[in-house]
Structure 1
Amino acid sequence: MSAAEHQRPFGDRRILVVSTNYAPELTGIGPYATQLAEHWAASGTRTDVLTGMPHYPAWRVDERYRGAWRREEDRHGVRVHRRRHYVPHRQTALRRATFEASVLVHGMLAPPPGRPDAVVSQMPSLAGGVIAARLARRHRVPHIPVVQDLMGAAAAQSGIRGGDRAAAVAARVERYALRGAALVGVIHESFVEGVTTLGVDPGRIRVVPNWTHVASPSGDRATTRARLGWPEDTPVLLHSGNMGLKQGLDVLVALARLAPDIKVVLMGDGNQRHLLREQAAGLENVEFLPPAEAEDFTDVLAAADVLAVTQRASVLDMSVPSKLTSYFVSGRPVVASVAAEGGTADEVRRSGAGVLVAPEDPAALLTVVRTLASDRTAADTLGANGPRYVEQHLGRQGGLARFDALLTEALEGAGAAAPGTRAERAGDIQGGEGR
């Protein structure tokens, strides 16, 4: 390959990325869709994004976009096409279905103009997967969905009201979006079985893990704690990110009730935030913070003593929290109150940066937090494993290169995967360049 071809691996091709979440959203799937599209645009590829109005994790439309039906933007070389949709402040199966339907209808009625050479979709958005599949079929080009969450499994496992009925419908929609795809990317090998069950040939599944999309901490830890009002002699247990049903964050409120000497900080937003505030009423050791600004985010994480990732006991194979990649960067120990057989537990084990605790068990969680808070050496040893894991397995350059390989294979229409990329070799990927 010549130097020019290396700089422009896809030549003058046009790529359409369909993702309900995109910048300026700072957490969840949005940053990955954004960095992927900007990476392709920076290489000279004509890149369009079909997305919604920024709303995550607050589940409220960003005030800068309220009232707009459509918005066209140029962001760092990417042409962004925004379409209005319904945003539910609280999650039920019906409200979620209305959200997806509104995304689908407006996206199909007003797709970006022109013919793409490939369509990449970020799921769990069911509507995004259907839009991408239909546009790819219309233009007879490859569709490459990337499964970040399995919505059918999510509806069944997350505890959302009406979830059983929603799970069946979501699974049918996922099957439609995935079965005709040229290739299917999954961010963790634990998703392979679920995607295969939806009718996808395992030979068309590729493991493309997410990468760390935030910078390493740079501020002085003591200074950050003082600014936040966290006393140096008070252990701080911090959860950052979405406050939704599947997180089961009531376990942290229950821990705070058991341990008034430990400060529990919930930083972020989500549809369960108001309920958690009600549960924590009267607990002086529980603090709610808004999402941190990008330039301050990892400094706040690093200022905590222990970082928490929690999930309901029923959550097994439908989600691997994107917050883990940020947690590992911070250099602080992670306590994971999650099912031992799920993908989240797999990541914590691989990293060596945390401790697993049975889900929905505040007393067990408290025991581990107390141990780490009292043994700084053990906590620092665990925490130091996180940045090493990031350097070895979660680098942005390596993550984007895997997506380049995925897109290249789909565009070339290769009948067989390149060595080391087939789903059945996921273990090799995880031990090397993958997670």
Structure 2
Amino acid sequence: MSDGERHRPFEDRRLLVVSTNYAPEVTGIGPYATQLAEHWAQSGARVRALTGMPHYPSWQLDEAYRSVWRTVEVRGGVGVHRRRHYVPSRQSALRRAAFEASVLATGLLAPPPGRPDAVVSQMPSLAGGVIGARIARRHRVPYIPVVQDLMGAAAAQSGIRGGDRAAALAAAAERYALGRATLVGVIHESFVPRVTALGVDPGRIRTVPNWTHVQGPTADRAATRARLGWDPATPVLLHSGNMGLKQGLEVLVDTARLAPDLRVVLMGDGNQRDALRARAEGLPNVDFLEPVEAGEFTDVLAAADVLAVTQRASVLDMSVPSKLTSYFVSGRPVVASVADEGGTADEVRRSGAGVLVAPEDPAALLETVRKLAADPVAAGELGAGGPAYVARHLSREAGLARFDDLLSEALDGRGSTRR
């Protein structure tokens, strides 16, 4: 293979990326779908993305798109085809089903024109997985769903109202989408048993971990703390990202209630933000910050003393938070209040950059945070494991190269396409 072929391996290939989330969303799955599509465009492919209207993590339609029903944009060399859909401001199984149904209807009724050479979808959403499977089947081309979360497991484990009823329907949709795949990507090996249980041959599953999609911190840490109004003598425990049901962020508010000398910062948005604000009423040591721009994101993370990732005790094998890749690059120690047997715990252990505590246990969380705050040297050494882990395993170059291999394998016919 020539140097040119190595650098532009998908020259003139027509690729379709299906992802309900896409830029300008800056958290969750959107940045990964965007960087992947733009990477393939830079590799010589003609890439189109079928996506929804920006709404995550606030679960409110972006103001710039409120009057838009259907549009085509060009971002980073990618033709981005947006379709309008319902956005539920509050989560329940019924509202989530309506969201998925609206994404499915608009995506199937108005897909991007032309025949792709391969279709790649990000799951969730369920609708995106089904849309990708249907389009690939229509054109008889390879189909690669990438499992970021398992919605059937999520419905059962996350505590969403009506989740038990929704779990079977979600699993059926996942079985449909995954069963028609040429190859299936999963972002963590802990997903493999669940995906296999949905009828996928283990020989068709490939692990393609998410990468760190943000740059490391560059600002002076003390200056950032001063700008944010954080007292140098007060330990700061920060959570960044989606404020949803599965995160179980109540444990952080309850930890703040136990420790008036600790500042707890919740940065981000989500459908549980208002409920968390109500729970934190009267607690002067709980702050809610809006999401910050990408250029200062890791500077804010690095200014904290400890970074928190939390999940309900029932969450085991349905997701691995994308925030971990950003946490690791920031160089601060991570405290994970999660189930010991889940994929999130596995990733924190593997990184060597964090400590595990029992989920939904504010006293245990507080004890660990206090120990780290009392020994800055040890905390710094623990946090330093994050950037080292990123350099070894989670660089953008390594992550995108794994997706290149996955796509090449599917295009070369080495997978087993299901019709």
TM-score by length of 2: 0.99
Q: CA deviation at 1:4?
A: 2.3
Tell me the distance in 2 between the aligned counterparts of 1:13 and 1:298.
35
Is contact 2:182-2:415 (8 Å) kept?
no
Tell me the distance in 2 between the aligned counterparts of 1:398 and 1:415.
22
Once the two structures are superposed, the pairs formed by residues 246-261 of structure 1 within 5 Å of their partners are: 246-261=246-261
**Alpha-carbon deviations, 1:166-205, whole Å to 9, x = none?**
0000000000000010000000000000000000000000
1:319 aligned partner: 319
Tell me the distance in 2 between the aligned counterparts of 1:6 and 1:410.
17
1:225 aligned partner: 225
1:36 aligned partner: 36
1:361 aligned partner: 361
Q: How many residues align?
A: 416
Letter of the 2:219 counterpart = G
Letter of the 1:37 counterpart = A
Once the two structures are superposed, the pairs formed by residues 192-271 of structure 1 within 5 Å of their partners are: 192-271=192-271
Tell me the distance in 2 between the aligned counterparts of 1:188 and 1:93.
26
1:373 paired to 2:373: yes
Other structure's SS at 2:302 match: helix
1:104 aligned partner: 104
Tell me the distance in 1 between the aligned counterparts of 2:323 and 2:314.
19
Other structure's SS at 1:295 match: helix
Other structure's SS at 1:121 match: strand
1:176 paired to 2:176: yes
Letter of the 1:376 counterpart = P
Other structure's SS at 2:268 match: strand
Q: CA deviation at 1:7?
A: 2.4
Is contact 2:204-2:415 (8 Å) kept?
no
1:160 aligned partner: 160
1:349 paired to 2:349: yes
Is contact 2:348-2:354 (8 Å) kept?
yes
Letter of the 2:402 counterpart = R
Q: CA deviation at 1:11?
A: 2.3
1:80 aligned partner: 80
Percent identity, aligned pairs only, is: 79
1:301 aligned partner: 301
Other structure's SS at 1:309 match: strand
1:15 aligned partner: 15
**Alpha-carbon deviations, 1:209-229, whole Å to 9, x = none?**
000000000000000000000
1:121 aligned partner: 121
Q: CA deviation at 1:25?
A: 0.3
Tell me the distance in 1 between the aligned counterparts of 2:381 and 2:250.
29
**Alpha-carbon deviations, 1:116-145, whole Å to 9, x = none?**
000000001000000000000000001100
Letter of the 1:29 counterpart = I
Q: CA deviation at 1:415?
A: 5.1
Is contact 2:238-2:306 (8 Å) kept?
yes
Once the two structures are superposed, the pairs formed by residues 389-428 of structure 1 within 5 Å of their partners are: 389-414=389-414
TM-score by length of 1: 0.95
Gaps of 5+ in 2: none
Letter of the 1:35 counterpart = Q
Tell me the distance in 2 between the aligned counterparts of 1:67 and 1:95.
22
1:147 paired to 2:178: no
Other structure's SS at 2:50 match: strand
Other structure's SS at 1:169 match: helix
Q: CA deviation at 1:2?
A: 1.3
> Which consecutive aligned stretches of 4+ in structure 1 deviate over 3 angstroms post-superposition?
none
Tell me the distance in 2 between the aligned counterparts of 1:336 and 1:216.
21
